[in-house]
Each structure stands twice: as structure tokens, then as C-alpha cells.
Structure 1
Amino acid sequence: MLRATFLLALGLSACQPDETISGYAGTDREWRLVEAVGQPITQRITLTFPEEGEIAGHAPCNAYTARQTLPYPWFKIEGLAATRAACPELELEGTYFAMLMSMSLSEVAGDTLILSNEAGMQLVYRAAPD
């Protein structure tokens, strides 16, 4: 009986929807940063949610990954890791990473994703065309 109860609980937990941002933003979409703190962004900076609790993307110089396990709409990344290529836009990349790590809320509306924090800063992304 105990084994049957455990298997039932395990099966039910596997059916639970993804409550992190990836469940709302989609694991198959690439988001491109179009605005940061009210300023347009022309460099290619992306964000994806490859699976529940994970983020990944490309900053101006390097690919990055991190964990994000809070339920939507809350947002907090941990364990940010990036490759270590140098490029002329490395300072911009550092600024982007600092802003990304300071975000605490997320909002997905159609093809727009907005990350924001209590200080009023926003990162605005648009879904990349298929």
C-alpha cells in the first residue's frame, strides 16, 4: 500500500504545471532584449527558458545560464554562469548581467516579456520571430 501511495504521489507531481516563468514564456521561444531602463537596445541580447527553473541566453559577448525557480510572476536568478570570451562590448555585458540579476518580477503578455524590480528598472524583451 505504501508503495502504491508513493507511486501515485510521484505520478501526480509529474503532472503539475510549470509555475516558473518558463511555464508562461514558453520553453521554445527566444526573447530578444529591445529596451533596458527606457533606452533602446540594438545589440543582440537574448533570453530563453529551456526548461523549468532554467534560463539561458546570449549577451553581447558570451552565452550564459542560470537558475530561476520562484513561481511566476516572481523572478530571481541564481548561479549565473557565462562563457569567458572578450569583445568590445564586455562592459555592456556586465551591465546587462547586473541588471538581470536585480530583477524581481516578470510579466508575459503575448510577444512581450518585461522583467522589473522595486527600483523601477525594466528590461523589455520581444519574442523572436519563428
Structure 2
Amino acid sequence: MPEDPVAPDRVTGGVWAVESLDGVALDAQAWIKIGSDGTVTGQAPCNRFSTTQTAPLPDIGFGPILATRMACPDLDRETAFLAALRQVTSGAVSGDVLTLFIAQDGALVFNRVPEGAGG
């Protein structure tokens, strides 16, 4: 029987605000939210996006990303952020920090947003 691509409880239902990409602070209002049903929604530096979770932690991955196409001054960061999400191969949670590892030895680091704030 195939494994259900649903994230563990410690990842689902909350909003995760991006802190850094490959060790460099990503000074943008970007976040993701992983639903218990495997749906993923979020805000990249410019546009909202959605995708699906294709595998549970620790071998997390995402399907095709659908995003709005509004222009903004942060398009370079937007492109880097979405490209990194497409390349995620695994992840880990430590307390209120979610780290998504990228195929090329990089990482996206997120902090859990307290309930009632943001997202």
C-alpha cells in the first residue's frame, strides 16, 4: 500500500515564514502552509502560489507550482525562492524551525509563525 503524502502533525496547519535561502537572509514576506491533506499554499516574495506535497517528511517534495504572475521589485528573489521549492528533496523540523533541503546542497529555512499572526 503506498504511503499517504501527508506531512506529520508538527508541520501541518501552521504558517512557516521564510528566514533564509542557502544561508542568506531572504528579506521578503514569503511563507508556506502545509495542509494535513497535502495541499501547500503560500506567498512568495511577489505572488501567491499553491502546490501539493508529493512525499511526507523526511523525504518531502512538491508537485508543480502554480503561481499568480504579478510584477514587483522582488522578482529575482521570487524566482530563486520558487526554484528552490521545486528542488526540495528532504526536510526536517527542529522546534519551530522547518528546514527544506535542496538537491544542490542548499536549504530553505522557515520559522513557525505564532497562531493568529501572519499568513
TM-score range for the pair, normalised by the shorter chain length: 0.7 to 0.9
Choose the corresponding residue for 1:92, options 55, 71, 77.
Answer: 77
- By percentage of residues, which structure has more helix? 1
Q: State yes or no: 1:45 paired with 2:30.
A: yes
Aligned residue-pair number: 112
Higher strand share: 2
Q: Give the conservation status (yes or no) of the 8 Å contact 1:61–1:90.
A: yes
1:26 and 2:12 matched: yes
| Identity within the alignment, % | 28
Deviation of the 1:22 alpha carbon = 5.2
- 1:74-117 CA deviation, whole Å, 9 max, x = no partner? 12111210011111111210111001111100111210000003
CA RMSD of aligned residues (A): 1.6
- SS across alignment from 2:91: strand
What TM-score comes out, normalization by structure 1 length?
0.78
Deviation at 1:19, TM superposition (A): 5.8
Q: Is the 8 A contact 2:64 2:86 kept in 1?
A: no
The corresponding residue for 2:91 is 106
Partner-residue secondary structure (3-state), 2:18? strand
Q: What do the CA deviations read for 1:47-85 (whole angstroms, capped 9, x no partner)?
A: 101332111100111100001131321121112100111
**Could you say which structure has the larger radius of gyration?**
1
Q: Shift of the alpha carbon at 1:119?
A: 2.2
The answer as to whether partners of 2:46 and 2:75 remain within 8 angstroms in 1 is yes
Structure with more relative contact order (C-alpha pairs < 8 Å, separation 6 or more): 2
Give the match for residue 126 of structure 1.
Answer: 111
Counterpart secondary structure, 1:95: helix
Instruction: Structure 2: state its 5+ residue gaps.
Output: none
